[in-house]
Structure 1
Amino acid sequence: MHEASAGLFVPFLRNLSGLLDQAKAYAEARKIDPAVLLGLRLYPNMYDLGQQVGEAIRHAVVGSALLAGREPLAFSDSKPDLAELKSRIAAAIAFIEGLPRAEIDAAADKDVAFRLKSGMELPFTGRTLLLTFSVPQFFFHLTTAYDILRHAGVDLVKRDFLGRR
């Protein structure tokens, strides 16, 4: 369970931080306000780049915290800039890395509930939370963030998404 959660979230959060570095460099080179990039979306009813990054962070943090039986790291409701998003990613990585491995590994059959922003709770076991909700949600938002940046012209390749292992 730990390898399938923290072992997956942490390296891909690092990759996401790298994508934001490339977005910053792209904006600087073209004299574009980075806020313009953060406001881009693939379709009018989809989250913008900043929200996609925030949701990827949230699913990694909340999913990991639920597995470990801990309160998740909370972030401000303010609209973050690129530097703040990178800071949130770093905080999320530190939080996830600090969770007890043994408790996460023992969480497969534990009953957990993911609370949506609306307040509604979705019941899961640790295993189903991870495999059918947290990991798919994380990768949906991470992929969409990557796609927004590619669509905006940031020179990214698959290796930027997957990491340089």
Structure 2
Amino acid sequence: MYDASVGVFAPHLRSLSGLLDKGAAHAEDRKFDSAILLGMRLSPTMYDLAQQVGEACRHAIVASALLARREPALLPALEHDMAGLQARIATSIEFIESLPRAEIDAAAERNVAFRLKNGTELPFTGRTLLLTFSVPQFFFHLTTAYDLLRHAGVELVKRDFLGRR
């Protein structure tokens, strides 16, 4: 369970940080404010890039905390600047990597509830939370962030998404 949660989230959050670095370098090279990238959306009803990053972090933190029987790390309000997003990613990685492996590994059959932003609670076992909800949600937001940056002309390849392992 630990390897399928923290072991997946942490390296991909590091990849997300690298994607943002490349986005910031792209903006700097072309002499425009990187906040323009952070406000981009694929559709008017979808989250912008900054919120995609925020949601990837949120799903990693909340799922890992639920599995470890810990309170999720509290993050500040989402900032639409590269430094704030990089700090959010770093805090997320630090938090999830601080959680006890044994507690997470023991969570497969434990009942947990994921609380949506509207207050609705979704019941799961640790295993179903991770495999049918949190990991897919995490990768949806990570992939959308990657796609937004690619759409903006940032030179990225699959290796940037996957990271160096």
Q: TM-score range, shorter-chain basis?
A: over 0.9
1:124-143 equivalences under 5 Å are: 124-143=124-143
Q: 1:22 corresponds to which residue?
A: 22
Deviation sequence 1:63-88 (CA, Å, 0-9, x none): 00000000001112243311110011
How many angstroms apart in 2 are the aligned matches of 1:123 and 1:30? 47
- Name the structure 1 match of 2:154: 154
Residue 56 of structure 1: how far off its partner (Å): 0.3
Partner residue of 1:119?
119
Partner residue in 1 for 2:106: 106
2:31 partner amino acid: K
Match of 1:61 in 2: 61
Say whether residues 1:74 and 2:68 are aligned partners: no
Question: What RMSD, in angstroms, separates the aligned Cα atoms of the two structures?
Answer: 0.7
TM-superposed CA distance for 1:94, in Å, is 0.6
Residue 19 of structure 1 aligns to a residue in which SS?
helix
Q: Following the alignment from structure 1 to structure 2, what is the Cα–Cα distance between the partners of residues 74 and 134?
A: 18
Identical columns (%):
72
Q: How many residues align?
A: 165
In structure 1, stretches of 5+ residues that fail to align are none
CA distance in 2, matches of 1:70, 1:127: 17
Deviations 1:69-127, CA, capped at 9 Å, x for gaps = 00001112243311110011011101011000000000001111111110111111000
Structure 2 residue aligned with 1:35 = 35
How many angstroms apart in 1 are the aligned matches of 2:101 and 2:152? Answer: 39
- Distance, in Å, in 2 between the alignment partners of 1:70 and 1:32 is 41
Runs of 4 or more consecutive aligned structure 1 residues displaced over 4 Å after TM superposition = none
**TM-score relative to the length of structure 2:** 0.98
> Contact 2:38–2:80 (CA<8 Å) still a contact in 1?
no
Deviation per CA, 1:2-49: give whole Å up to 9, x if none.
000000000000000000000110010011111100000111111000
TM-score (norm 1): 0.98
2:87 corresponding residue in structure 1: 87
